[in-house]
Amino acid sequence: MTQINLFDTEYLKSSSKIINVASIPQRSPFRYAGGKTWLIPRIREWLSAVGDKDKELFEPFAGGGIFGLTAASEDLVGKVTMVEKDEGVAAVWQIILGGGAEWLAEKITNFSLTSETAREAIKSADKSLESLAFATIVKNRVNRGEIIADGASFFKKGENGKGIASRWYPETLKKRIFEIDKIKGKIEFIQGDAFEVCEQVSNQRNVVYFIDPPYIKSGQRLYKYSVVDHEALFNLADRLKGEFLLSYDNVVEVRDMASCYQFAVQPILMKNTHHAEKTELLISRNLAWLLD
């Protein structure tokens, strides 16, 4: 397949329209390492090719959950199920989707952020699910590279020299949390293992899957759970009765596995957080919708 550029400086170009990336609604409470907000226009296209109101979207490596949130907010599918193994990330989803949106939003807006209070919040994570959720939000906003995994250090200078508070936007977070609260009836969240959950529904034709595992190559330092059996994931994808879309780092190991299962593969240009352009792979049984 020939390579096409779907990401061109600030604009994603599709065949007939230009989409301003800055206009993609930011709906997640996380700034997620490896987050896929930039891929949202493609996801809308994919879901309109394979999905409809009777379909259920599974997002088995949910992280910041931007796909599920977009699909639920824009009524692109009937139901969304998000799965995430990281207990801290899961706690945020469990609290927001389980009726604790107001509590979390208040906690965030009443918090006076300094290095000391951030450290204190992170230290108290083990007290309750609420404390864990709040500690995770704090870590995600004060750690370098938005890394939630243990060992990440706090920002030093941050944006505009604002140091630790440079990514702490309480009102924005509150707004996003309340927006998620409004659509929580359409979203189920499961704290658990992507493989086990997908296996359970693998025979259902009405389920579609957006599968975004940690990168094979550089995922290690980003997540607490970064080791995934990628061969087993390709094997699982092959057995799913519903449609799937996999996203991966563009490395030879991935291209080899995709070719082994005769999946369609398309490199697309993306920008990472350092504004360096690089390609990522989209993999599915059929990518004709992408090339239309």
Ligand X SMILES: C[S@@+](CC[C@H](N)C(=O)[O-])C[C@H]1O[C@@H](n2cnc3c(N)ncnc32)[C@H](O)[C@@H]1O
Site string for ligand X, 78-107 (x = CB under 6 A): -----xxxx--x------------------
267 binds ligand X (CB under 6 A): no
Q: How far apart are CA 50 and CA 77, in angstroms?
A: 10
For the bound state, the minimum distance from the C-beta of residue 34 to ligand X, rounded and expressed in Å, comes to 4
DSSP 8-state secondary structure symbol assigned to residue 30:
S
Which H, E and C letters describe 58-96, residue by residue? EECCCCCCHHHHHHHHCCCCCEEEEEECCHHHHHHHHHH
| One residue of 27, 36, 42, 186 binding ligand X per CB under 6 A | 36
Q: Which is nearer to ligand X, 185 or 192 (CB)?
A: 192
Edge-first strand order for the sheet with 277-284 is 187-191, 79-84, 56-59, 207-211, 244-249, 277-284, 264-271
Q: Which is nearer to ligand X, 1 or 232 (CB)?
A: 232
Residue keyed to tokens 């700034």: 31
| One residue of 40, 66, 208, 270 binding ligand X per CB under 6 A | 66
Neighbours of 84 (CB within 10 A): 26
Provide φ and ψ at 170, rounded to 5°: -60, -40
32 binds ligand X (CB under 6 A): yes
249 binds ligand X (CB under 6 A): no
194 binds ligand X (CB under 6 A): yes
Interface residues with ligand X (CB under 6 A) are 32, 34-36, 60-61, 63-64, 66, 83-86, 89, 193-195, 212-214, 223, 225, 228
